[in-house]
């Protein structure tokens, strides 16, 4: 039962606006990606990273034009994987406990994904800002990574065309679209994503 970590790190980090791709920006003394790698390497048999061409290390693969294309490239380099643990380099506060909880929740489903209850009231609106409806917050979850899948289900889901992959904001949505079943795993509050400079400062403060 080979468990392979898949780390999409092929983005440029446009919103962060640093002098290098976001995954390689220093956060609390080490490149951002190292925090995630340390946790994944403790749980997985091996980890494959999809990175920008100038940032590759041995065993890593080149990222693709979208996040999901990067996941596809990394998974293609791990044909032995039975379980795929996908985790964004941009979430350095992930814990071993959360990864293990997702792996443990995979029984009988195709995917088990970290998620947090939504605390704001969420409304659906027209592009002009007119509110269409208020959604039932009790049923809403904000989805994160890690996202753990039966590797075969993820492989099948990633066979979609490039436009579909580019439109997907997570891997679970592709698995759902392919008919797969996905279960939520409640994440602790700290598992933030580094998108902006303010997020980087928050992550740094939490990791120091």
Report the residue number, 2 or 195, with the smaller CB distance to ligand CTP: 195
Alpha helices (H) along 62-158: 67-76, 96-104, 151-157
| Residue matched to tokens 């091996």 | 46
The Cα 41–Cα 207 span in angstroms is 18
The Cα 102–Cα 113 span in angstroms is 6
List 3, 4, 6, 9, residue binding ligand CTP (CB under 6 A) = 9
Contact region for ligand CTP (CB under 6 A) — 85-93, 102-110, 172-180, 183-191? 85-93
Query: CB atoms < 10 A from the CB of 14, how many?
Result: 10
Contact region for Mg ion (CB under 5 A) — 3-11, 69-77, 140-148, 190-198? 3-11
CB contact set of 185 (below 8 Å; sequence gap of 6+): 98, 101, 102, 105, 112, 113, 114, 115
Report the residue number, 34 or 109, with the smaller CB distance to ligand CTP: 34
Quote the least distance from Cβ 148 to ligand CTP, whole Å.
16
Residues 14-43 that bind ligand CTP (CB under 6 A): 14-15, 22-23
Quote the least distance from Cβ 6 to ligand CTP, whole Å.
10
Beta strands in 89-196 (DSSP E): 111-117, 123-125, 131-134, 141-150, 182-186
Binding site for ligand CTP (CB under 6 A): 8-15, 22-23, 50, 63-67, 70, 88-90, 193, 195
Interface ranges with Mg ion (CB under 5 A): 11
């Amino acid at each position: 039962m080979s468990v392979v970590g898949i780390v999409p790190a092929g983005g440029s980090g446009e919103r962060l606006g640093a002098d290098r791709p976001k995954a390689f920006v220093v956060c609390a003394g080490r490149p951002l990606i190292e925090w995630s790698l340390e946790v994944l390497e403790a749980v997985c048999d091996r980890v494959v990273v999809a990175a920008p061409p100038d940032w590759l290390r041995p065993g890593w693969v080149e990222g693709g034009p979208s996040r999901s294309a990067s996941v596809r490239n990394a998974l293609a380099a791990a044909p032995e994987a039975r379980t795929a643990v996908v985790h964004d380099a941009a979430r350095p506060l992930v814990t071993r406990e959360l990864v293990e909880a997702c792996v443990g929740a995979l029984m009988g489903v195709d995917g088990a994904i970290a998620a947090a209850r939504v605390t704001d009231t969420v409304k659906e609106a027209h592009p002009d800002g007119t509110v269409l409806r208020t959604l039932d917050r009790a049923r809403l979850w904000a989805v994160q990574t890690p996202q753990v899948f039966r590797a075969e289900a993820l492989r099948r889901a990633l066979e979609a065309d490039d436009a579909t992959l580019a439109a997907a904001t997570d891997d679970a949505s592709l698995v759902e679209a392919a008919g797969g079943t996905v279960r939520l795993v409640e994440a602790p509050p700290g598992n933030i994503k580094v998108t902006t400079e303010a997020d980087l400062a928050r992550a740094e403060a939490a990791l120091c």
